[in-house]
Structure 1
């Protein structure tokens, strides 16, 4: 593991130029904009409620239609099925009005790019009506090189009125690997072309010289050129509709609605913060393998600090940048913004400009979630950015839990939390070259809620309207045959409320002799869809290769099968980073993605719900007994109430029978409900944590409540029966750590950690 010495945060580097060159671009409080560019800054505060709602919904529809226009013209599976795009509307000075409902982090990186453009292009070459700017430089603001942004200023009577932008993942923009995900890259120089914002459309015409420069590095220039025109059409459609609104209602009214959307969201955000105690909340997760052959594990930390009406996010404790697993400041910030939007701003329809006025992002440069130039960042969205995003749900959930209303918005980590990226390429039956990524893991799973189960194959939370292609469509486009795609029992994290199930897809070559694969995966040794407040994690990613099976013989004989082991052959655990992995005609490639995390103690799940899970093939009989402590009748499947009660009590008793300390019960005033399992009460010695069930004293709020719990270090397989031996992929010693109340034996919290890791100090309140 690389060195984790203390390094300065952005706020501790006042003399460093965060200009998007060697360090990430981080805009200051005021922008240095050329006086050549005139900004439209007049608006009306006198807008009647009906007009406000009509115009607000018009703006929302314009933005959504913007994305749909890109999809219709592109026709790419990336746009149609992966929904790997997002449009945005911003004010003249780059405050968000609306995100689109597609891939959320793509909007999260938009405002910094527009601000860079205002500061660096407003003088030379200038920003004029009819211009559009192309950009994909991650140190300026892109997530990674393939997420290309097209930025369009909207002018009214010679003044910059607002911006419409879109971001679309491109099929290939160069680099050492087809599709431009480069798992063996050691720096950005091994990856696709980097383009800071450049004027590619001038006076409403494409600059041919710039377009040719943009397309030259691509293995698929025709596809990228079509996608560029789809992006251009999306911007033009949104621009024309905004201008039509201005002509109808007047510029000051439209700008007034934009400003009110932002200020309304700000008021709502501040009202929520007023209900939350000051404090700090932390989460820790891990990325495995930063280059081919690597067997190390790299920690990623996220911290949110709430003080008054302000939130600060940090990543201190995250491993140093290394290999090909990194993300830049913009990617990390954009990922964190996804969770903020969904937990704290969901009522505002993706309008989080007001919230951002009260949020500071203060990461540590040089870590792998805030990498300096020239780190490799092409795999950022499926590794460093996801490992920044999904733990943020947990820290925000614990932060808002004390408020009964916001508690309802809690959502555990979802499936595909480290996307099992598989890119396949080769020659099809016509001799044409193809390359594409496996999109099916976008089916993901939604993690458990504070009041109900997660959603099986419910998509990815980062893309609210995501979907996956029909099997037949994939087979039509590429020379492969999909044998099955199915949900997997026990894949959802156990808990009082169970995480959503994930799924498995298996395929073989069809009408081609060979398929070549590049894999970029993590979350295969250690689960990353972690549970919360006693919940267990979802299954890990599982990528399996079955070599020289008898599948062709069975198909010739018309025999059905649903188990790869029945097909014989050699089973190989595919390395997490592998290039040009060859799949022949009788070989089967199988991908299972992670399930949703569970919420709460599994022994508190209603036995009747466990029985129903077994009937629905969501949970196996074995897991019902070993994980949930439920005894089912062998014939009817009904719950044996007496034996279940006895088994659960016995398990809780065994957890605490070796505890030799004294258990003190707190009876003072209830101050705060901290999590489902922890309260704060006023004790003789001040405010103390205590068990929410039995009020056992868990120590002063100035300390870590976990120190007062019984801790158990258990194999990862205890957390989920589908998790295999981590030794297949990593040299580290990961485990499943439980923290148990010494008074009643219920689980207070869980951790996925390494054996030598200290207890995570996940909650530190200021009361």
Structure 2
């Protein structure tokens, strides 16, 4: 391959001033950053403002992704599907409108992700969409949660807004808001979170108009076309550095009684055409939709196919419609990881099977061999991310509450040159979500968090480790608390690749008032009474490469951080350690380590 083919294309290659391109791309990113900060600061529920389960983006009016900035990959990687139905359903879109879409059958991810979409006009011409997508703690399902693995169809999921015009003339449509408030629990929190999204989208709208006023509509339009072409050419150049071929990988979601008794096998077939700079991800050879909420929406399936590829190519490539065009997902109607058949349930579409699909795609690259690919990341989710609800009776007037906790994020996968990320959470979140602040959670809700720490010896052992899981415990301070969770990863943990070991599985337990501890099912609703506590361990990531090749200094660091015990260091890595003179930390015994590794070679 010639140097001309492998170098990164520049803005100058496509006839647009490279300095101006850098300025304008950064301006769009800064607009999204301001939108994101607006949602976080103005929202009321902890799952949005504390754990950051939200994202913002900008599309052209013809549904091409312009830019994202520090967003959840699953929220924005197929964002174009969210606005496409709006222009199909409405022929009178006008300035001042806002549309609410959370329908998996109209381009949404799942029903808990309410997406506000605002058209941006200039002199009567629609040019852009601003979008704010937030995961709401409740949308009115029969059970107090938004994750419903046993919900067979949308009629058991709560409110669906299939591209509903919720603002006109910059004002809320009172009847739509009233419908939502009537159905949704703790509706003052819901409405505050919705208004935060309105503030974000309107802020983005104003900033885009200011940008157009500064540079002119013609220049902005030229930039958009050049920016898309730049993303496309950068993606082609990156894919041309990969070996051509077809590679497949299969994962398995945990069993869910009555929904998927044997679990759900999920396979991805990745075909790399390095000459054309094109990657095809075929997920059609997978099971039909299951009778529960594990099915993916089309938006989630498309996004996960793209996400798994993006993780394996140059991370500096612009994530816009141009680069996405070089990844072709092949989906099947009525498939558990394809296009769902109305009205099948999809309430867990953003987690569970979705996380497994992204893993299958990213791990397929490891079939090429080192240094390509990565291991599996930890699954979603034990009671560490449980949805809790009840009544806070500590106040003069009892106050109902419902929220999703983010107390222990799953561990990331190992890959060549890097250990997994401790606060990774999942392949489709990739470290964007934030572990809850214990102090904030305890201030907002009547719970006490007794413990949160890294779970020792839980990582996926490898030359490059998968990150360990997190363990902890929490309990209610005001009587009965309802807990809901969907703990994938308890039966089939994250697997290692290329001789790397599996990560530790996730799990949930309950400690009774008498101190006795019982393991709870991995997919479950539990009433936690006074004096009882919930114990959890999040899933760890899989390891990459032979553990006996891990640098002894890295093993030592893990031991001194208390992530790894000296016994496991010797057993798994062949690294012998002795206490240092301070009697606290360890140091490597080089001679003993050499003997251990030679004996196991």
Q: When the two structures are superposed, what TM-score results if normalisation uses the length of structure 1?
A: 0.71
Counterpart of 1:428?
392
1:539 pairs with 2:504: yes
Contact 2:38–2:200 (CA<8 Å) still a contact in 1? yes
Contact 2:382–2:537 (CA<8 Å) still a contact in 1? no
Taking structure 1 as reference, are residues 169 and 101 closer, same or farther at Cα in structure 2, changes over 3 Å only? same
1:599 pairs with 2:544: yes
Counterpart of 1:321?
289
Counterpart of 2:38?
69
Contact 1:331–1:385 (CA<8 Å) still a contact in 2? yes
> Deviation of residue 641 (structure 1)?
4.2
Q: Which segment drifts farther, 631-640 or 379-388? A: 631-640
**Residues paired across the two proteins, number:** 575
1:387 pairs with 2:332: no
**Aligned positions of 1:709-728 closer than 5 A:** none
Contact 2:100–2:165 (CA<8 Å) still a contact in 1? yes
Q: 2:334 aligns with which of 346, 359, 366?
A: 366
Counterpart of 2:530?
585
Rounded to whole Å, the distance in 2 between the matches of 1:633 and 1:463 is 36
Rounded to whole Å, the distance in 1 between the matches of 2:305 and 2:33 is 22
Counterpart of 1:259?
225
Rounded to whole Å, the distance in 1 between the matches of 2:184 and 2:501 is 43
> Deviation of residue 68 (structure 1)?
1.0
Q: 1:331 aligns with which of 297, 300, 303?
A: 300
Rounded to whole Å, the distance in 2 between the matches of 1:329 and 1:417 is 20
Taking structure 1 as reference, are residues 249 and 572 closer, same or farther at Cα in structure 2, changes over 3 Å only? same
> Deviation of residue 540 (structure 1)?
1.0
Counterpart of 1:501?
468
Taking structure 1 as reference, are residues 338 and 629 closer, same or farther at Cα in structure 2, changes over 3 Å only? same
Rounded to whole Å, the distance in 1 between the matches of 2:146 and 2:426 is 23
> Deviation of residue 398 (structure 1)?
4.9
Rounded to whole Å, the distance in 2 between the matches of 1:101 and 1:297 is 33
Rounded to whole Å, the distance in 2 between the matches of 1:260 and 1:419 is 45
Taking structure 1 as reference, are residues 70 and 372 closer, same or farther at Cα in structure 2, changes over 3 Å only? same
Counterpart of 1:675?
none
> Deviation of residue 336 (structure 1)?
2.8
Counterpart of 2:570?
625
Q: When the two structures are superposed, what TM-score results if normalisation uses the length of structure 2?
A: 0.90
- For residues 545-602 of structure 1, give each alpha carbon's deviation from its aligned partner in whole angstroms, at most 9, with x where no partner exists: 11124xxxxxxxxxxxxxxxxxxx32211112222x1222322211110122211001
Taking structure 1 as reference, are residues 634 and 65 closer, same or farther at Cα in structure 2, changes over 3 Å only? closer
Unaligned runs of 5+ in 2: 1-13
> Deviation of residue 142 (structure 1)?
1.1
Rounded to whole Å, the distance in 2 between the matches of 1:101 and 1:611 is 33
1:648 pairs with 2:597: yes
Counterpart of 2:376?
413
Counterpart of 2:406?
439
Higher Cα radius of gyration: 1
Q: 3-state SS of the aligned residue for 1:200?
A: strand
Q: Which segment drifts farther, 444-453 or 626-635? A: 626-635
> Deviation of residue 227 (structure 1)?
1.6
1:103 pairs with 2:67: no
Q: 1:179 aligns with which of 145, 152, 174?
A: 145
> Deviation of residue 287 (structure 1)?
1.4
**Aligned positions of 1:45-56 closer than 5 A:** 47-56=16-25
Rounded to whole Å, the distance in 2 between the matches of 1:650 and 1:316 is 46
> Deviation of residue 62 (structure 1)?
0.3
Q: 3-state SS of the aligned residue for 1:347?
A: coil
Contact 1:293–1:577 (CA<8 Å) still a contact in 2? no
1:278 pairs with 2:227: no
Q: 1:141 aligns with which of 107, 114, 120?
A: 107
Rounded to whole Å, the distance in 1 between the matches of 2:45 and 2:103 is 23
Kindly report the root-mean-square deviation, in angstroms, between the aligned alpha carbons of the 2 structures.
Answer: 2.4
Counterpart of 1:466?
433
> Deviation of residue 168 (structure 1)?
0.9
Contact 1:445–1:501 (CA<8 Å) still a contact in 2? yes
Rounded to whole Å, the distance in 1 between the matches of 2:121 and 2:390 is 46
Rounded to whole Å, the distance in 2 between the matches of 1:449 and 1:46 is 37
Counterpart of 2:8?
none
Unaligned runs of 5+ in 1: 1-44, 550-568, 653-767
Q: 3-state SS of the aligned residue for 1:162?
A: strand
Taking structure 1 as reference, are residues 180 and 455 closer, same or farther at Cα in structure 2, changes over 3 Å only? closer
Contact 1:291–1:324 (CA<8 Å) still a contact in 2? no
Rounded to whole Å, the distance in 2 between the matches of 1:374 and 1:387 is 23
Taking structure 1 as reference, are residues 49 and 298 closer, same or farther at Cα in structure 2, changes over 3 Å only? closer
